[in-house]
């Protein structure tokens, strides 16, 4: 079985497909890496572009997990996708990045002002 890439013009756009013999399937998101090649984004890259985790929020804003929990309870953050962990471990929270990005930018400004006033 051979795997190759073919380009087809459909509608008003070019579409790249991963072809295996005569059966073509959509290739997915593309990322140009150089003038000579095209690299397909991995599932992890697509996920990281789409969602933000509570761990990343904590690192970005330099806050702890309790602050995230309190912010959720007070309505500062929208409803999250909750992924429970086995054995009662703390759960993982996910948000669509596009939804929370403006909220996090505003929150970062508030935190910077609060930290500057305390210094």
Question: Each residue of 5-34: pLDDT tens digit?
Answer: 555 545 555 555 555 555 555 555 444 444
Structure tokens belonging to residue 49: 């572009």
Domain boundaries defined on the chain? 3-41, 47-118
For residues 47 and 64, give the distance between their C-alpha atoms in angstroms, rounded to a whole number: 23
Whole-number pLDDT of residue 92: 85
In what helix (H) or strand (E) does residue 98 lie, and over which residues does it extend? Answer: helix 97-118
Element (H, E) at 118: helix 97-118
Model-level pTM? 0.64
Q: What angle do CA 63, 67, 73 make, to 5 degrees?
A: 155
């Amino acid at each position: 079985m051979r795997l190759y890439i073919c380009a087809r013009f459909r509608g008003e756009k070019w579409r790249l497909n991963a072809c295996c013999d005569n059966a073509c399937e959509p290739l997915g998101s593309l990322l140009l890496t150089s003038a000579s090649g095209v690299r397909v984004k991995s599932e992890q890259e697509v996920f990281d572009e789409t969602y933000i985790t509570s761990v990343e929020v904590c690192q970005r804003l330099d806050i702890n997990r309790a602050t995230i929990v309190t912010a959720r309870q007070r309505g500062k953050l929208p409803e999250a996708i909750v992924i429970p962990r086995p054995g009662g471990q703390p759960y993982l929270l996910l948000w669509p990045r596009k939804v929370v990005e403006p909220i996090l930018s505003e929150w970062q400004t508030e935190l910077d002002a609060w930290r500057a006033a305390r210094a």
